[in-house]
Structure 1
C-alpha cells in the first residue's frame, strides 16, 4: 500500500515545489531582480549541476550526439527553457503567484490539443475515453480561467505567526497588479504554457532517437543559459543586475533550479 502511494505523494510534492518557486520568484522580482537574469542563472546552474550525473550515468550508453539530435536539443532549449521561462517569469512580474499557478493548469489541455492535431493522440468522440479526454480538456481550461478573470470579495484569513523579512514589503491586496498590466501578465503565462506544450511534443520525438535524458537536459540547460544571458545583455545592460548576495535573489536562483 505504501509503494502504491509513492507516485501520488511525489506528484503532490512536485506541485508544492512549483508553488514555492512561484512565491520565491515573485519576491525576488518584486525586489527589482531582472527576470532574464534569474532565468539565465537558473539554466546555467542547472546545467552545471546535471553535468556530473549525465557523465556518470550515460557516458557508456553508446548514444551518439548527431547534428540532428543537437538541432532537436537546440529547439527544445528555445521552446522548453528560454521562451517558456522568459514568458512565464516576465508574466509573473505583472501578476500574482496564485494566478500563475492556476493558469499553468492549462498546460495539459494545450498539450492534448497539439498532440491530437499532430495525430500523436487518438481522439474517438464516440467512445467513453474520447469523451472523457474532451470533457477533461474543457474543465481544465475553464477552471484555470476562473481565477484570473473572476473578481470576488476579499477573503480575510487569520494572521500568520510566521514573518519573513523578505516578504514584509511584498505586494498586498491594495497594490496588486490590475488593469492592462495584469491582463498582459496573464496572457504571457498562457503563452509560456503554449511554448511548454511545444517542448513536450519535441521531447517525445527526440526521445525516439536519443534516449539519454540527463545528457540532453544538461545540453539544453546550458544552451538556454547562454540564450537567456544574451537576452539579458540586450534587455538589462547594467552589470549590477547580475550581482547576487546572501539575499532573496540568491535563494530564488538556487531554488528555481
Structure 2
C-alpha cells in the first residue's frame, strides 16, 4: 500500500515537472551550440552550408525513430499540412538560423543569446493575434503577461540602443585573450547585427505559432520533426547554392565544422524540435519560449572563457530588464495553466445520471439497476483518468 501511495504522488509530480526539465535542458544544449557554432564561423565556415549539414544530420537521426514508433499513429498527409511543413522548414531552419548566424558574427555569441530573450514576448503577441493565447486585463495573470511583455521589449530596446563600457563578468575575462579581441569588437556592426537578430526572432516566433497550429492537424511529433528537418535541408540547400558559388565551401573535415553540424543537428534541431513540439502541444508556444534567460547566462560565462568575448554594460542592463519581464510572463502563464486545469477537474469531478425506467427507455439495462440498487439515488460516475 505504501509503495502504491508513493508512486501515486510521484507520477503527478513528475508530470508537472517534466515540461520544465525538458525546456531547461534544451537551454544548456543551445548554449553549447552558440559557442561551438561561433568557433566554427570564425574559422571560415559558411553559415548557409552549416544550416544544410545541420538539418541533414537531424533528418538522418530522427527519421528512423519516426518510422518505427509512429508507423501506426501517423495521420495521413494532406495538402494543407504539407504546405505548413514547407513553411515551417523555411521559417526556422532557413530564415531564422541564417539571420541568426549573420547577427551573431556581427555582434557576439553572448549578445545574440541575450537578445533572443525577446522571443517569448514576441511569441506572446503573435499568440494573441492567432487566438492561441487568451488575455483578460481584469485578471491579474493576464495583466502580468501583458506588463511582462512590455518590460521585455523595453529591455531589448535598451540592449539595442545602449552599448556601454565593457564589464568583466568573471576573473578569466581579464586575461590576455580578452585584449586581443578588444580592437575588433569596436569595429563590429552592432546595429546591423541587432536588426538581423530581431528579424530572426520574428521568424522563430512564427515557427512556434505555426508548429502549434500544425500539431493539431498532424499530431505526430517525431514525424513532424523529421519532415521539418528534411524540408529545411532542401530549402536551405537551394539558398546555399545561390549564395555560395564556391564549391570548396561545402568541404568539411574532422574538425570544428563537423562537430558544429553534428552537435547542432542532433541536439538543437532533431531533439529540440521534438521536445518543443511535445511541450508546445501541452503548454502552448509561450511556455516553450519562456526559459531563454538561462541560456543567456550559460552562454555569457562560456563565451567569456572559451571565446574571450566582451560583455558590455548595456547588454547586462537590458538582459536584467528582460529577465524581470519574462518572470512576469511565466508567472502569469503558470497561473493560467493552473486555473484551466482546476476548471477542467471541477467540470469533470462527478457526473450524475438519473435512473431511467427500462420500460420507458432501452438505454438503461437491468445490470444498471443492480449497480445502482433499488433506490432512486443517482448513479455517480467518476471522472475518466487522463493518460
Please, what TM-score do these two structures have when normalized by structure 1? 0.88
Describe the SS at the equivalent of 1:61. coil
**Residue in structure 1 matched with residue 55 of structure 2 by the alignment:** 43
| Structure 1 position 6, deviation (Å) | 5.5
Does the aligned pair in 2 maintain the 1:30–1:170 contact within 8 Å? no
| Structure 1 position 91, deviation (Å) | 1.6
| Structure 1 position 94, deviation (Å) | 1.2
List per-residue Cα deviations over 1:163-211 (Å, max 9, x = no partner).
xxxxx799723312646x2211111111111111111121121111110
Q: Specify whether residues 171 and 149 from structure 1 end up closer, same or farther in structure 2 by C-alpha distance, changes over 3 A only.
A: farther
**Residue in structure 2 matched with residue 217 of structure 1 by the alignment:** 225
Q: Specify whether residues 255 and 182 from structure 1 end up closer, same or farther in structure 2 by C-alpha distance, changes over 3 A only.
A: same
**Residue in structure 2 matched with residue 164 of structure 1 by the alignment:** none
1:173 and 1:145 mapped to 2: Cα distance? 24
Does the aligned pair in 2 maintain the 1:69–1:206 contact within 8 Å? yes
**Residue in structure 1 matched with residue 236 of structure 2 by the alignment:** 228
**Residue in structure 2 matched with residue 165 of structure 1 by the alignment:** none
2:63 and 2:240 mapped to 1: Cα distance? 24
List per-residue Cα deviations over 1:93-151 (Å, max 9, x = no partner).
21100111111111111111111122322111122112101111122222334344433
Describe the SS at the equivalent of 1:105. helix
Aligned residues: 250
| Structure 1 position 39, deviation (Å) | 0.5
**Residue in structure 2 matched with residue 176 of structure 1 by the alignment:** 185
Which of these residues, 166, 169, 172, is aligned with residue 159 of structure 1?
172
Which of these residues, 83, 94, 99, is aligned with residue 82 of structure 1?
94
- Alignment of 1:185 with 2:197, yes or no, is no
Which deviates the most, 168-177 or 137-146? 168-177
Q: Specify whether residues 202 and 11 from structure 1 end up closer, same or farther in structure 2 by C-alpha distance, changes over 3 A only.
A: closer
Does the aligned pair in 2 maintain the 1:244–1:250 contact within 8 Å? yes
Structure 2 unaligned regions, length at least 5: 1-9, 266-387
List per-residue Cα deviations over 1:21-77 (Å, max 9, x = no partner).
111111111111101001111111111111101001111115111222111111111
Which of these residues, 171, 184, 203, is aligned with residue 211 of structure 2?
203
Give the number of the structure with larger relative contact order, counting CA–CA contacts within 8 Å between residues 6 or more apart.
Answer: 1
Does the aligned pair in 2 maintain the 1:38–1:253 contact within 8 Å? yes
Structure 1 unaligned regions, length at least 5: 161-167
Does the aligned pair in 1 maintain the 2:160–2:194 contact within 8 Å? yes
When the two chains are superposed, the root-mean-square deviation of aligned CA atoms in Å is: 2.4
List aligned pairs for 1:1-257, cutoff 5 A: 3=14, 7-156=19-168, 157-159=170-172, 172-176=181-185, 178=187, 181-257=189-265
| Structure 1 position 11, deviation (Å) | 3.3
Which deviates the most, 144-153 or 242-251? 144-153
Which deviates the most, 28-37 or 147-156? 147-156
